[in-house]
């Protein structure tokens, strides 16, 4: 059972994301990762194993930015390794996901037929790829995410960030819990 977390804040977010993951650590996991959005793009760091491996990675290669997503993974589709660790990215879209996209295989085949290249074995990557495809078709972030959501079957909680949109986090849930909170002044 994994944990997902997103923060759109007013201070450096990487440390806050890792702190949040630690609070969810009791749920068990096999890998962990974060991604941070800034004006020019998205920076991602992932590591197999415990959160301290991710912290070591962040120590070597820090990420800066105020808005990010984080995940501890309990693998259901694809081996527990760094390639399959979340966040998953396609073009300028990064997502973390708790649960299972049951119809991911047919969605993936349709996207591959359009020339999209997947890098992981997960069901989750299809979320990022489908949102990216709708954006390539001309939709904005919110419309593309909404259109993608309407295609998924299964139970899930998802959070997404976008390159060049450091003020935007999109969250969605179906069956799985997701809690929204407001920080002071945030």
Question: What Rg do the C-alpha atoms of the chain give, in angstroms?
Answer: 15
- Contact between 77 and ligand GLU (CB under 6 A)? yes
User: Is 100:158 a contact under the CB 8 Å cutoff?
Assistant: no
Query: Which of 55/122 has CB closer to ligand GLU?
Result: 122
Nearest-CB residue for ligand GLU: 2
Query: Which of 51/166 has CB closer to ligand GLU?
Result: 51
| Residues 124-163 close enough to bind ligand GLU by CB under 6 A | 124
Q: Which stretch binds ligand GLU (CB under 6 A): 44-52, 62-70, 122-130, 134-142?
A: 122-130
| Residues 81-120 close enough to bind ligand GLU by CB under 6 A | 97-100
Query: Which of 48/73 has CB closer to ligand GLU?
Result: 73
Q: Total residues contacting ligand GLU (rule CB under 6 A)?
A: 14
- Interaxial angle between packed helices 14-23 and 51-60, expressed in degrees from 0 to 180 and rounded to the nearest 10: 170
Q: Partners of 58 in the beta sheet? A: none
Beta carbons within 8 Å of 35's beta carbon, 6+ residues apart: 42, 43, 44, 45, 68, 69, 70, 87, 89, 94, 96, 161
| Pairing, β 67-73 against β 169-174 | unpaired
Q: What residues line the site for ligand GLU (CB under 6 A)? A: 2, 73-78, 97-100, 122-124
């Amino acid at each position: 059972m994994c944990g997902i977390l997103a923060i759109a804040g007013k201070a450096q977010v990487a440390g806050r994301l890792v702190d949040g993951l630690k609070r969810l650590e009791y749920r068990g996991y096999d890998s962990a990762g974060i991604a941070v959005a800034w004006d020019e793009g998205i920076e991602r760091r992932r590591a197999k194993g415990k959160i301290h491996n991710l912290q070591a990675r962040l120590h070597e290669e820090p990420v800066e930015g105020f808005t990010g997503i984080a995940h501890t993974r309990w693998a259901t589709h694809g081996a527990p390794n760094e390639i399959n660790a979340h966040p998953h990215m396609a073009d300028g879209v990064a997502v973390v996901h708790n649960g299972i996209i049951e119809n991911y295989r047919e969605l993936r085949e349709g996207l591959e037929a359009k020339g999209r290249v997947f890098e992981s074995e997960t069901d989750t990557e299809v979320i990022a790829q489908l949102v990216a495809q709708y954006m390539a078709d001309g939709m904005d972030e919110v419309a593309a995410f909404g259109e993608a959501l309407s295609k998924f079957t299964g139970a899930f909680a998802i959070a997404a960030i976008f390159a060049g949109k450091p003020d935007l986090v999109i969250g969605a849930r179906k069956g799985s819990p997701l809690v929204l909170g407001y920080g002071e002044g945030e």
